[in-house]
Structure 1
Amino acid sequence: MRVSDSQFSSMMTRAMMNSNVEINRVAEQIATGNKINSLSDDPAGSMKLLNLDKTISSAEQYSSNIANVQSKYTEYETYLMSFNDLTLEVHDLLLQANNGTISEESSAGIIAELESLRQQALDTLNKKSDGIYIFSGTDVYSESIIVDDSTDPMTYSFGGNTDHRSTKISEDAAMTSNFTADEVLQGSLDFFTTLDAAIAELKNPTDNKNSILGNAIDSADATQKSILNTVTILGANYNSLDRMAVNNDDVALYAETVKTDINALDYAEASVRLTQSMNTLQASQSVFANVMGSSSLFDLI
């Protein structure tokens, strides 16, 4: 079978182009330190790397979600412990007021402090963060505790709702990221109603003073226990998030290790391939120049 000049030229051009492509590919590998820089380098390996990148990206996103939830938990803990301190002060003042030997002046001071603490407690449960009520469940634009002061005594009701927001923290796990006023108070507003009754009793004492103040003291105790129970749940969740964050870091690290195993370049082997490709190109160029320098391919036969 005879090969024409045009056929030979086409074959040699194609061979030199292939050598150039291989030289450029190996040069890029050496420059980046990666065996795979494009899909064509290794289709199967490229798909593995894409899947590993997705795994790493997901793990990093989950870690970011965990950090956000923990930041919210820290905020909740601050307000809950503040509310806890308020209930302790209310408890102590009520015990003091229940002492029959206090003066009228002392009683007036206690009333003023109790009224201030009641308002602080309401303000705490109706706290806003970034423009939303944090204890109102998912109904974040409604107050957590609604006060109707048009009645005597004032009436209280829960606002918002009891729903929880859930944040994904791993491929198959999610964590509650909020706490509601309803769960903090265990569905009861007795803390406020009994406190109001105690304040009214101190303003106008009756024979039921001990009973009314005793109810308020018991309610303050129950509220404090409920708050601390919520804080305990918060702490347990926080620790779970810590463990999940470590797990996500391990997943990302493992994926990075596998990526390195798949994609790490053997520089010695790459150097050999580069030399071979350059030698092949030089040989092809030499042959092409010699052949095309003759008047015809058949002159060399």
Structure 2
Amino acid sequence: MRISTAQFYESSAANYQKNFANAIKSSEEASSLVRVNTAADDPVGASRLLQLGQQASLLSQYSANTTSIKASLGQAESVLTSITNVLARAQELASGAGNAGFTDDDRKANAAELAQIEEQLLSLMNTQDENGKYIFAGSQGDTVPFTRNSDGTYSYNGDQTTLNLPVGDTMSMATNTTGWAAFQQAINTSRSQVSMTAPTVDDGRVTLSNGQVSSNPKYNSEFRSGEPYTISFLSSTQFKITDSAGNDVTSEASQNGTFSSSKGAEAQTVSFRGVDLRLSINLKPGDATPPNTEIAGHSFTLAAKPDSFNVSRSPGNPSTAVVTGASVSNTNAYNASFPSGGAIIKFTSATNYELYASPLTADSKPVSTGTMAGSTATASGVNFTFSGAPAAGDQYVVAVNNHQTQNVLDTISQLRTVLNTPTNGDPIAIQKLNAGLQAGMANLASGANQVASAVSDIGGRGSALEIQNETNMSLSSANTQTQSAIRDSDPAEVMTRLTLQQTMLQASQLAFSKIAQLGLFNKV
């Protein structure tokens, strides 16, 4: 075989370039200790590194989300703890006001401090974060969550939406606590009411409180099914309770409807279907012994408090008409169609209107329609009384209070009213005061329990967050090690390979120079 000089040079140059390139690559690898720079270096390893890089980015974002959630939860917990302390002081004031030695002035002093507590609570419940967002407004961070209505009650303007952030591949965590969950869902223990039906003029001999709900299950399943009840006093020792169907249900009352007249103004507890009533007998000089004639004939109705409504006009209304009163006129129509979450009355003309479920959107359809009758608009079984003439385009927001739950701000407001009402030493007024204090303290305890539940929920989320964060840190560490194992070089192996390639390069240079001297002309 003949090998031309050109072929020899081309072959030698190609081999030399290959060896030189390998040596340069190994030298760079020895310098950086990175084995996989491109997919060509290791296609399988490069693909795996891409996956690991994506996982590392997610883990980094999870870490950032965890930090953000911790900060939000920490602020919410701090505010809720402050609210708990404020409520504890309110409970002390309410408890102290029941002291027999307290005068009307003493109770007014407590009421004045409760007014300051009410303002402090309102401020805390409207707390903003460092970005100016209201932390208890749900997803409505730019909306003031709690506002005072014209009648002194309070409304929640936020929503029930929690803002979630992912903290793991299969786990998301709520960053906020809504005011609805923390404050609006406190069980209202004072949601029954008593009204005297006989005698026509109250003689003060028998007083019966509105009652306190002592058992929610019994109240919801038994009490509500038989209301309204009639409590009829038959003698100085016995009363009878009949339900709405006329059935005698006295056997379900404590002591089968018996009581003592000899205890006088001392309150006696009557328990019936999950409701505790305070009964007091106030005999007068000259009453018979036993006072059967004086007590018999007194009767009361007992039922759940009816739903109440707070109606406000929209700021952009063309007219200045306002709603001055609202009440249920048709129970069946109300239960069947009135929106439980609130409604909006929209006037399409000066007399015609439509009722929508709140909030009103472009896709909303009217629940009912109607025409004004004088100054009254009747919608889904509710009469709304207007002062002034509405105009086309007017809208009115209707908030419904079913009394099942009660905001702690409303509880304190009601408690202030009780403490500001003078008794002047009147036994009957004192009995009403004690009943009001009992209702206020029970609802304060309910509100405090709801706040404590919210704090507990934050603590649970914090614990879960810590566990997930530890898991993420372990995954991140494993991710880093796996990436290093695939991407990084073994220093000993790289240096050995580089030395071999440099030796081969030197050998090829020497071989080329020797072979190049074997030309024919060198032998002439």
Question: Considering the TM-score relative to the shorter chain, is it more than 0.5?
Answer: yes
Which whole-Å CA distance do the structure 1 matches of 2:410 and 2:496 have between them?
85
Q: Does 1:194 align with 2:195?
A: no
- Spell out the pairing of 1:278-289 with structure 2 (5 A cutoff): 278-289=502-513
1:87 equivalent in structure 2:
87
Which whole-Å CA distance do the structure 1 matches of 2:473 and 2:101 have between them?
63
1:76 alignment partner, SS class: helix
Which letter does structure 1 place at the counterpart of 2:422?
Answer: P
Cα–Cα, structure 1 residues 219 and 284, in superposed 2: closer, same or farther, change >3 Å? same
* Structure 1 residue 58: Cα displacement: 1.8
8 Å contact kept, 1:146–1:158: yes
- Spell out the pairing of 1:20-59 with structure 2 (5 A cutoff): 20-59=20-59
- Spell out the pairing of 1:207-226 with structure 2 (5 A cutoff): 207=429, 208-226=432-450
Which whole-Å CA distance do the structure 2 matches of 1:230 and 1:254 have between them?
36
Instruction: Give CA deviations for 1:205-264 in whole Å, capped at 9, x if unaligned.
Output: 252222222221111100111111111111111111111011111111112222233234
8 Å contact kept, 2:26–2:498: yes
RMSD: 2.3
1:179 equivalent in structure 2:
177
* Structure 1 residue 3: Cα displacement: 4.6
Q: Normalization by structure 1: what TM-score?
A: 0.89
Cα–Cα, structure 1 residues 171 and 190, in superposed 2: closer, same or farther, change >3 Å? closer
8 Å contact kept, 1:162–1:180: yes
Which whole-Å CA distance do the structure 1 matches of 2:106 and 2:517 have between them?
118
When structure 1 is superposed on structure 2, of 172-181 and 210-219 the one drifting more is: 210-219
8 Å contact kept, 1:26–1:273: yes
* Structure 1 residue 100: Cα displacement: 3.7
Query: Which structure has greater helix proportion?
Result: 1
Cα–Cα, structure 1 residues 274 and 196, in superposed 2: closer, same or farther, change >3 Å? same
1:115 alignment partner, SS class: helix
When structure 1 is superposed on structure 2, of 219-228 and 279-288 the one drifting more is: 279-288
1:168 equivalent in structure 2:
166
Which letter does structure 1 place at the counterpart of 2:406?
Answer: L
Percent identity at matched positions?
A: 23
* Structure 1 residue 105: Cα displacement: 4.3
Q: Normalization by structure 2: what TM-score?
A: 0.53
Which letter does structure 2 place at the counterpart of 1:200?
Answer: T
8 Å contact kept, 1:190–1:219: no
What are the ranges of 5 or more consecutive residues in structure 2 without an aligned counterpart?
A: 186-404, 424-428
1:268 equivalent in structure 2:
492
Cα–Cα, structure 1 residues 286 and 233, in superposed 2: closer, same or farther, change >3 Å? same
1:228 equivalent in structure 2:
452
Which whole-Å CA distance do the structure 2 matches of 1:278 and 1:18 have between them?
12
Cα–Cα, structure 1 residues 182 and 105, in superposed 2: closer, same or farther, change >3 Å? same
Which whole-Å CA distance do the structure 2 matches of 1:14 and 1:210 have between them?
106
What are the ranges of 5 or more consecutive residues in structure 1 without an aligned counterpart?
A: none
8 Å contact kept, 1:198–1:213: yes
Query: Which structure has greater strand proportion?
Result: 2
* Structure 1 residue 93: Cα displacement: 0.4
Which whole-Å CA distance do the structure 1 matches of 2:6 and 2:98 have between them?
113
Which whole-Å CA distance do the structure 1 matches of 2:522 and 2:495 have between them?
35
When structure 1 is superposed on structure 2, of 179-188 and 128-137 the one drifting more is: 179-188
Which whole-Å CA distance do the structure 1 matches of 2:485 and 2:476 have between them?
14
Larger radius of gyration, structure 1 or 2?
2
Instruction: Give CA deviations for 1:97-147 in whole Å, capped at 9, x if unaligned.
Output: 222422444333312210011111111111000210000000111111121
1:13 equivalent in structure 2:
13
2:40 alignment partner, SS class: helix
Which whole-Å CA distance do the structure 2 matches of 1:89 and 1:132 have between them?
28
2:166 alignment partner, SS class: strand
Which whole-Å CA distance do the structure 1 matches of 2:12 and 2:62 have between them?
54
8 Å contact kept, 2:412–2:440: yes
Which whole-Å CA distance do the structure 2 matches of 1:271 and 1:300 have between them?
41
**Which of 1 and 2 has higher RCO (CA within 8 Å, sep 6+)?**
1
8 Å contact kept, 1:145–1:159: yes
* Structure 1 residue 5: Cα displacement: 4.1
Which whole-Å CA distance do the structure 1 matches of 2:458 and 2:112 have between them?
33
8 Å contact kept, 2:104–2:422: no
